[in-house]
Structure 1
Amino acid sequence: MAGEINKSCGLDIHKSFLIATILSRSGEKQQQRIKRDDDGILSLRNWVTSEKCDVVACESTSDFWVPIHDSLIKHLPFIVGNARDMKAFTHKKTDKIDSEVIAKLALNGMVQPSRVFPKKHREYRSYIRLRHKLVQKRTDIKNEAHAILAPEMFNLKDVLTDIFGKNGREILSGISSGKNVDQIIQNLSPNVRKKSAQIRELLDREISQSAAIRLQICLKLIKNFDDSIELLGKEIFNYAYGNHKREMEILKSVPGIGELGAATLIAEIGDFKDFASGDKLASWLGLVPNVYQSADKYHNGRITKRGSKVARWILIQIAQAAARTKNSKLKEFFNRKKKSIGHAKAIVALARKIATIIWHLITNDEMYEDETGYIKGEVQRRKIVETEIFSVDERISIISEIFAIVEKKKPDIK
């Protein structure tokens, strides 16, 4: 922030109220408790502007700061700082002390601003994060369904690869609603109906009423989650392709990155040009190790895990996929690292490398190119070796010649 700060305001924000402290260079202090509603935010804005504050600062905990930020940012600088860097250095912990400490840090220019995305982008990111949570919850419900079926001895995995696919749900719905086996089999796809004997043997048992009720509830919840995830997916991709089409194309050219991965990275990282280098981006994502140094001792610890958890998670998933991609430099990098540091650390190292690669690609508007000749989306066709076709007589003649050669090479046994 340019210029000297003569007066600052620190906010300790909670769900229903906030504590605001105004400090000046002369040592004057004012403090108020304000309700966190429309009237309270308006009174806060009028107060800090009338007091001619140079800056307002708060911690980036939860999303309670968002409406306050959006209201005040049009009138004066508003800094949202990382809570890790703004802890009170005192044995006491009260809302008033927290507010005053934030004001002091802001007054002395010691608050490092966090990146605040535009409102539209924050909404887009909220779709991504909600989808991520719904997928996790859907997985929990599926695991619960597995737990229901296990004691009932319904081992559908012996027949189906995915028991929550179309055919699997038809079977689960049938056994939970009391349908007979013929009705269930009739509604299955032709490929699965070929296994009707196995299905009959599997379903030749009764499910308990308790298990049936719980299974029905699980299936309904999974269906609701599927519908919600599909709806969010449409909103996500509409925004991603509508506003970041070029970035989507660039990201999808990288091994391991699909549509959802690209959309998630754009949502969580935002403008890649905010970072001076790929290493800065990797650091912001928490993919760099903690460093401990004292005198001649130097030690690298675990990764910092700062920044977006969702971005870090998707990069790890991308790295897992890239490590399995044939004929790519990324797989070669992973294999080299794996020999020295093991599988798990090699995946993290690959995730960091991918982060630096995508920063370079986006900032330079380049598509990913692999020196090994890997092209994403290209089907690796199986080589067909053409063999010469011989007639029956020719085959007999060749075999006879082979036997004759073998007989000649046999040693004489005396």
Structure 2
Amino acid sequence: MDIEVLGIDLGKTVCSLAGLDATGAVVYRKRLQRHRLLDLLEGLDPCVVAMEACGGAHHIGRFCLEHGHEPRLMSPLYVRPYVKVHKNDDRDAEAIAEAATRPTMSFVAIKSEEQLDLQALHRARERLVTERTRLINQGRGFLMERGIRVGTGRHVFQKELVRLVATGTADLSHRILSMLSDMMAELATINDRVEAIDTEIKALAKADADMQRLMEIPGVGPTIASALVAAVGTGSSFAKGRDLAAWLGLVPRQITTGGKAKLIGISKHGNRYLRKLFIHGARTVLHLVRNRTSPITQWADGLKERAHVNVAAVAMANKMARIAWAVLTKGERYRPVALVGT
């Protein structure tokens, strides 16, 4: 039995395997417990091992590299069209193996342990920020129902919360004041945890040469730089900067029919968290950077005059992503002069 491509449908406890030979015919099928998968791969002759990029896939991918296999990770969205008739685990494994043989298939780069550590930091931070936002919105709702309107902004709300808990008001019952006091303590805990993660991210960015070069780009700080390195590594999986921008969903969504092309907003594909960070960074360049004489800020100012501020922010984020790709892949520092006339 000569297996050229082994497709693995990863499950939490059970994995389904389908092996293809050089002609593409299925010559191997097997189901086994997930904890036995690595033992099977260790004893298998070197081949292409294809998986969907899901939980645990990067760990298995690194194991495959160590034992002479060629791991190929794919987005589940790209595998779905290859599933024939009714969906089940065995057909999923066969579809994964078949999809991996397509010459036009896009593969996900294997993440290192350092990248996964960085990714874990960012996901923990995002969870805390989301919890903080939900907590603040709930507090605003409590106060609004009692005729107390608080201005926009997290810091404004927290300042008002401290004042209300300290001084009290006739509009708030003892029970609500007690709940607001608990909310204030919970917010303080979340703020401390977010600050601790930010401090760790800054320290990691300061010690990494790639992140240091990325942070020379206007609008890119430690958060964006570390999140980008965690997601794409050196960026070598993208042929050009436009591909990275497209992967981030920072390009127009295109609908073409009858030879007529129509662009309707951005595609919003890919990494939602990174896209959000890049757009926040772009807004910083558009509004907050004081040095308006650099080429990139002059380009941004001209863009603001021609387009809506949100369109300008997305275009600026697209530009930043393409510059970031060049900095990562070429190992060069950011050169502002290169933007003149673009």
User: TM-score by structure 2 length?
Assistant: 0.83
Structure 2 segments unaligned to the other structure (5+ residues): none
Please list every run of 5 or more consecutive structure 1 residues that lacks an aligned counterpart in the other structure.
175-180, 182-202, 373-414
- The structure-2 alpha-carbon separation of the partners of 1:355 and 1:330, relative to structure 1 and needing over 3 Å to count, comes to same
Give the one of 27, 30, 35 matched to 1:32: 30
Q: Which moved more, 1:102-111 or 1:137-146?
A: 102-111
Deviates more, 1:106-115 or 1:217-226: 106-115
Q: CA separation in 2, counterparts of 1:266 and 1:113?
A: 17
Aligned to 2:144: 150
Q: Does the C-alpha gap of structure 1 residues 276 and 102 become closer, same or farther in structure 2, counting only changes over 3 Å? A: closer
Q: Are 1:346 and 2:312 an aligned pair?
A: yes
* TM-superposed deviation, 1:232: 1.8
Preserved CA contact (<8 Å) 2:6 2:49 = yes
Which residue does the alignment assign to 2:245?
282
Aligned amino acid, residue 32 of structure 1 = K
1:148–1:214 Cα contact (<8 Å) kept: no
SS of the aligned residue for 1:44 comes to helix
CA deviation vs aligned residue, 1:301-325 (integer Å, no higher than 9, x gap): 4433333211111110011111113
Q: Is the 8 A contact 1:79 1:114 kept in 2?
A: yes
Pairing of 1:185-204 with structure 2 (within 5 A): 203-204=168-169
Q: 1:238 is aligned with what amino acid?
A: A
2:196 paired with 1:231: yes
Q: Would you say the 8 A contact 2:201–2:222 is kept in 1?
A: no
Q: Tell me which amino acid in the other structure corresponds to 2:181.
A: Q
Please give the secondary structure, in 1, of the residue aligned with 2:84.
coil
1:366 — aligned with what? Answer: 333
Q: Which residue identity lines up with residue 349 of structure 1 in the other structure? A: A
* CA gap 1:209/1:96 in 2 versus in 1, 3 angstroms: farther
- How far off is 1:157 after superposition? 5.0
1:205 match: secondary structure: coil
The farther-off stretch of 354-363 and 114-123 is 354-363
- Which digits, 9 at most, give the CA deviation of each residue in 1:276-328, with x for residues without a partner? 43223212322223444456423334433333211111110011111113515
CA distance in 2, matches of 1:277, 1:86: 24
1:135 paired residue number: 129
Instruction: Determine the C-alpha separation between the residues in 2 that align with 1:224 and 1:140.
Output: 15
In the alignment, the residues of structure 1 paired with residue 254 and residue 151 of structure 2 have an alpha-carbon distance, to the nearest angstrom, of 47
Q: Structure 1 residues 307 and 28, CA, compared in 2 at 3 Å: closer, same or farther?
A: closer
Number of residues of Structure 1 aligned to a counterpart in Structure 2: 331
Larger deviation, residues 359-368 vs 141-150: 359-368
Aligned AA for 2:158? F
Counterpart position of 1:106: 100
Structure 2 match to 1:44: 40
* Aligned-residue offset at 1:260: 2.7
**Structure 1 residue corresponding to 2:66, chosen from 53, 74, 80:** 74
* Counterpart secondary structure, 1:164: helix
Of 264, 273, 279, 1:310 maps to 273
Cα deviation, 1:152-201, whole Å, max 9, x if unaligned, reads 3445659x972314xx4543443xxxxxx4xxxxxxxxxxxxxxxxxxxx
Give the C-alpha shift of residue 138 in structure 1.
0.7
In structure 2, distance between residues paired with 1:71 and 1:272: 22
2:56 matched residue in structure 1: 64
* Distance in 2 between residues matched to 1:253 and 1:67, nearest whole Å: 32
1:32 to 1:340, Cα distance in 2 relative to 1, 3 A: same
The residue number in structure 2 matching 1:54 is 47
| Counterpart for residue 226 of structure 2 | 263
Query: Which residue of 70, 93, 118 maps to 2:87?
Result: 93
Contact 2:52–2:75, Cα closer than 8 Å, also in 1: yes
1:10 deviates by 0.7
Number of the residue aligned with 1:10: 7
Q: Point out the structure with max Rg over C-alpha.
A: 1
Q: CA shift at 1:32, angstroms?
A: 2.1
Shift of 1:274: 4.6
2:205 aligned partner = 240
Match of 2:183 in 1: 218
Alpha-carbon distance in 1 for matches of 2:79, 2:311: 31
Match of 1:164 among 135, 141, 158: 158
C-alpha displacement of 1:45: 2.0
When the two chains are superposed, the root-mean-square deviation of aligned CA atoms in Å is 3.2
For residues 371 and 12 of structure 1, the distance between their equivalents in structure 2, rounded to whole angstroms, comes to 46
Kindly provide the amino acid, as one letter, of the partner of residue 289 in structure 1: P
User: Which residue identity does 1:351 align to in structure 2?
Assistant: A
Structure 1 residue 127: Cα displacement: 0.5
- Letter of the 1:313 partner, please give it: K
CA distance in 2, matches of 1:254, 1:322: 10
Indicate if the aligned counterparts of 1:361 and 1:368 stay in contact, CA closer than 8 A: no
**CA distances 1:112-155 after superposition (whole Å, capped 9, x unpaired):** 32112211111112201221221122111111112222233445
* CA distance, structure 2, for counterparts of residue 358 and residue 67 of structure 1: 27
Contact kept in structure 1, 2:206 and 2:212, CA below 8 Å: no
